[in-house]
A and B are shown apart, each in its own frame.
Chain A
């Protein structure tokens, strides 16, 4: 599939338009919203355009029904958890009477989500030498519909004063310097400097939706929920690399239905490596402050600047292993600028896999859950050799371009873990 694709946001409460011709794009990535609640997306090929409103209407209805059902009904329409099971959502038929009693479902949806959240949230943005991107991110944070308790920028081992100067211009944002490099280090510093009941993290390469914080907070209704994640939408899909990231194995795509990850999920998947990386993305997550006391802080061996990434998922692993819950709340949205060139995408995939492998080893070392090793030594090699053979026979398509980087990342991860262990001893 070729780039560029145009990302279009359609607010359904404003009516359904006709989609015009887009001669400069391969297609449209259309996200459907109802009063700022995202309900689904569709990819529409340029050849299908112009699309009359009535045809789009049919598409809208087919797309948003599962999300609306999942939000409004206690049973039915639930999204699938990443578990290997005949019924991955553990769901049942919706109740007939609940279903037929739903009049004006969108209206009730809006009412349900329009209640303000209570409590105090600290927002932590960790950044390193990217003041332009950070400025864009901070502007979006100033537009939040409910102002957070505080916003902290953690400047991680900067090589210049640019970030400090940028933050100094914005009175309501606090600046914290962390000279030791590493995303986990910076996040932990952010936690120690914050005072809110919950701490929400985002990255400097995203824009946040005005309701981002409110919706994350609403995810904490259940007292057992220690971590909440949200939906990460592409801010743009202008280059091939961005498209690969969006679609590829590393691409974010957790859907538009809320998910609760619990002990049952953990136990079901423990024997083959719990897919905690499917819980969300570090650019859109929050924790109860209490969580850090219960399960600890971010592992400083992981994360950008150290092993690579997976500092987020490894913390979720501990949350679940200790019997608490993680919640994916897709109504909480950030827009991520994916890497726009192929080389930095390859580098990123290398980092991802490196971090992933280290996280598996860290998780195994902590809990002796053998599934982590099974994933590392059985599932991943099998996955990559299949991928390689498939490419060999079917012709290398774009998604194979990151294959080598990912495999090298895996090896490098094992090496990193052994070395860091050596240092500790």
Chain B
């Protein structure tokens, strides 16, 4: 079943890759001078071997352009050093101590590259309505990691709690099911240095593992990947008349950062989105949209990289597609109310979204789309439910939560 994920450094001699009996393919994370420049997946027969020459072919075909482009970047734009801003990294978690431990481990390596010196950033764990003390026990055992508890269940309650507690000029959010790359911090800082006027930053998300069919399917469908080019989203996006009403092109909530002061000014996250069941999504779409609508650029930076552990079970993946449809439409309905000047755009994007879903279904029926029909239908159905009053329902639910807890 699994695809083996291999890191390739192109400035080093290429290895020979061997697949074991159970492997069904390879996924390559290609780096040049440690910078991620490409990702490619290839199905291969079990027990096959890929010689360095074949590997070279594969790499130049997929990332040849990028290789040259990076060489040009080195020549044209030598890196500049600037004093990095202070940073708080917030991880919102709920009852997933093992995941959290893995995430923290990767983060702590960046926080103090060597045992001396002061930490390079602050880590804040927001324990969201936990059902036991495990997370608290883990975090209190670690140095330089702060712990707060947010009793109101819901991811955006937790994120807003982090916003309240954080002290850094920049506030980065991570989900507990990611592991940060060794260049994650440098990537974020580079994006920040290059775009001092930007208010939000998103990064590349690659798979942490590809061991089940669900994970492979998700990644074949494009995954969370948004490419290996830096992108700066401003007020207009040539060729996309619907901008900034986008369905997730800006990045993913599992790896995003903001200028804290601006996030405060915007009023933080919408607590009626990302509430967990029954509306587990849309919060990231909403905040990215609001950042851009407030006139700030949003920057996507591929070196600001995390590895995300995708859902292993097909049923959970299907559920996730459902929640993406749902969350997206809840976001659209909300924005329709809160941002009247954009209404015609929002109507058009709803139309576009349904057309796009149907097109994907059609492609699937012709065998040209990796995702199976139930997943696609799930997302479509989620979208319909989202359009039919899920957001107002969610508003009522969180009112209730707020009343109960306070």
Contact = CB atoms under 8 A, between A and B. Distances in A.
Indicate whether A and B interact.
Answer: yes
Interface of A: 12, 16, 45, 47-48, 52, 54-55, 57-58, 60-62, 64-66, 68-69, 76-77, 93-97, 99-100, 102-107
A100 B238 CA distance: 32
B72 A105 contact: yes
Interface residues of B, number: 31
Contacts of B235: 47
Contacts of B344: none
A106 to B, nearest CB: 5
B21 interface: no
A16 B77 CA distance: 9
Interface in B221-275: 229-232, 234-236, 238
B76 A57 contact: yes
A97 B55 CA distance: 12
Interface string B66-96: 0111011101110000000000000000000
A110 to B, nearest CB: 11
Contacts of A68: 68, 72
A33 B32 CA distance: 26
Contact of B56 (A52, A65, A97, A105): A97
A55 B10 CA distance: 26
Contact of A45 (B57, B76, B238): B238
Dominant SS among interface residues on chain A: helix
Ranked 9 nearest A-B pairs via Cβ = A96-B56, A54-B194, A93-B60, A55-B232, A65-B69, A47-B236, A94-B64, A93-B61, A58-B230
B65 interface: yes
A61 B234 contact: no
B180 to A, nearest CB: 23
Nearest to B64: A94
Given A54-B194, A69-B68, 15 more contacts: A16-B76, A48-B238, A52-B195, A55-B232, A57-B73, A57-B76, A58-B231, A62-B69, A93-B60, A94-B68, A95-B60, A100-B32, A102-B71, A103-B71, A106-B75
A93 B75 contact: no
A94 B60 contact: yes
B234 to A, nearest CB: 7
10 contacts: A16-B77, A55-B234, A57-B77, A60-B76, A65-B68, A65-B69, A76-B60, A95-B60, A105-B68, A107-B75
Contacts of A61: 69, 72-73, 76
Contact of B236 (A45, A58, A66, A107): A45
Interface in B348-387: none
A60 B72 CA distance: 10
Given A12-B76, A60-B76, A93 B194 contact: no
B229 A62 contact: yes
Nearest to B236: A47
